[in-house]
Amino acid sequence: MQTAMIAPAVQQLYEYFSGGTTRSIAWRKQQLNNLQQMIDDSEQAIFEALREDLGKAEQESWLSEVGYLQTDIRHSLRHLSKWSSPRKVSTPVVAQPGKSYLQPEPLGTVLIIGAWNYPFQLLLAPLVAAISAGNCAVLKPSELAPATSKLLATLLPRYLDSKAFLVVQGAVEETTELLRQPFDHILYTGGEAVGKIVMRAAAEHLTPVTLELGGKSPCIVAGDCDLDVAAARIVWSKWMNAGQTCVAPDYILTEKGFSGPLMSALQKQLTAFYGTDPATSPDYGRIINQRHFQRLQECLSDQRVSFGGQTNPAERYMAPTLVLDPPLKSKLMQEEIFGPILPVISLEKIDDAIPFINNRPKPLALYLYTENQAFEQQVLTRTSAGSVCINDGMMFMANPQLPFGGVGNSGMGRYHGQWGFDTFSHLKAVMKRSNWFDINWRYPPFSAAKLKKLKWVS
């Protein structure tokens, strides 16, 4: 879409929302069912696009993108009527007789900016929430995943109400023009630097934002954990999508006496999952583009690799890589890795993990492998993270009853399930009073007696 056409196209969405069509619960459910049908009809095409963009295996694509969205849609359809109903709250004595409640209403026209690492899920999961809440939406897929972006731009207008939803392909120029528009909410998934740009642009219109960013998510592995299970779950969560996951463990913290067995267990699981040569594994992905590939190579340039490290620039292939005790001031430990490299940091004692984490920006996720409940409680109460998963990696994302979002530099706001519905809704406060009884103590002329009565009922 040409940038000159963006403002008029967005204006048409505003006008369609004003007509009230999207407020209908029946309309919302129909759009969600249509989206579900689109996914069912196009599953193979989606797999092919994700394979082209990221080298994703079909099963991984189903697990992290297609199947995830199908579950999300079913959950929203099941609960939509309840979410959109008035939510009763108590009414104080001074306002009796009367009733009070929160009435969810759609915000209006929203902007959803997706990310390239899960280009299908991270664009459409927020859309599920926006539809459920009754909004119109502009969708900006990532230009760094061109096959998926093109597919979405083709499919969505075929299945959804084209008067309510608009897909805008393009790069910086198109995104900049979109950010000039006065949306009612913006949800952005991506990096911190662009997140700041989005927030600055939103401030011009006092537009609320949800920023799903990232950061260096720590993984604490205590010596009392089930090592084989922990290693399998760490490898699964770290090297899914070749490490290009915002909630993937970015580095491991363990105690010195346990780093050797842990490294051996991780190597064993990597070989079990991807073979002795992951370059030939159909289940192992590729780096999104040459720029990110070069960035990852630079992260390794000054490191002593303990395992892996092989690369093929022509294929954007980087092997699963382990680095033991890298310098803490190196690029590898100062920036979010977002790739298939996992540093393992040896601490004098496992309790030192808490100040190590607290001396750094708040992460999007924190992982803890331990059987020690006292230590578990210490980590939970003395650290801050968007989400915590104990004795597994990333599985909290599979529960639509849990919100997903960051804290501090890792983001603001949250979605998934009802949390997403509420993000794209205004919970309007409503009080309805009865006319049959009126407390006149609040009316002038005031007196000491009236004040005494008001204090008594308040």
pLDDT in tens, 188-198: 999 999 999 99
Query: What pLDDT band is residue 206 in, cutting at 50, 70 and 90?
Result: very high
* Over residues 396-408, mean pLDDT: 96
Q: Catalytic pick from 246, 255, 299, 336? A: 246
Q: Residue 457 above 90 pLDDT? A: no
Q: Residue 58 above 80 pLDDT? A: yes
Q: Residue 176 above 80 pLDDT? A: yes
Statement: 218-398 belongs to CATH 2.40.110.10: no
Percentage of the chain exceeding pLDDT 70 = 100
Query: What pLDDT band is residue 250 in, cutting at 50, 70 and 90?
Result: very high
* 109 membership: H or E segment, kind and range: strand 109-113
Would you state the structure tokens that stand for residue 458, as one six-digit string?
Answer: 């308040």
Active site residue 212: yes
* Over residues 125-143, mean pLDDT: 99
CATH T-level topology, domain 3-213+411-430? Aldehyde Dehydrogenase; Chain A, domain 1 (3.40.605)
Would you state the structure tokens that stand for residue 312, as one six-digit string?
Answer: 């093929």
Active site residue 246: yes
Strands 311-312 and 251-255: unpaired
CA torsion sign for 34, 79, 188, 319 is: negative
Q: Residue 28 above 90 pLDDT? A: yes
Q: What is the pLDDT of residues 59-112, one digit of tens each?
A: 999 999 999 999 999 999 999 999 999 999 999 988 889 999 999 999 999 999
DSSP 77-107: HHHHHHHTS-EEE---GGG-SEEEEEEEEE-
pLDDT for the residue numbered 85: 98
119-123, 264-268, 345-349, 434-438: which range is least confident on average?
434-438
pLDDT for the residue numbered 59: 96
Domain boundaries, the chain: 3-213+411-430, 218-398
CB distance 319 to 280 below 8 Å:
no
Q: Catalytic pick from 60, 65, 177, 212? A: 212
Query: What pLDDT band is residue 402 in, cutting at 50, 70 and 90?
Result: very high
Q: What is the pLDDT of residues 446-455, one digit of tens each?
A: 999 988 988 8
- CA atoms of 331 and 326, how far apart (whole Å): 10
Q: What is the pLDDT of residues 297-316, one digit of tens each?
A: 999 999 999 999 999 999 99
CB distance 196 to 174 below 8 Å:
no
Query: What pLDDT band is residue 57 in, cutting at 50, 70 and 90?
Result: very high
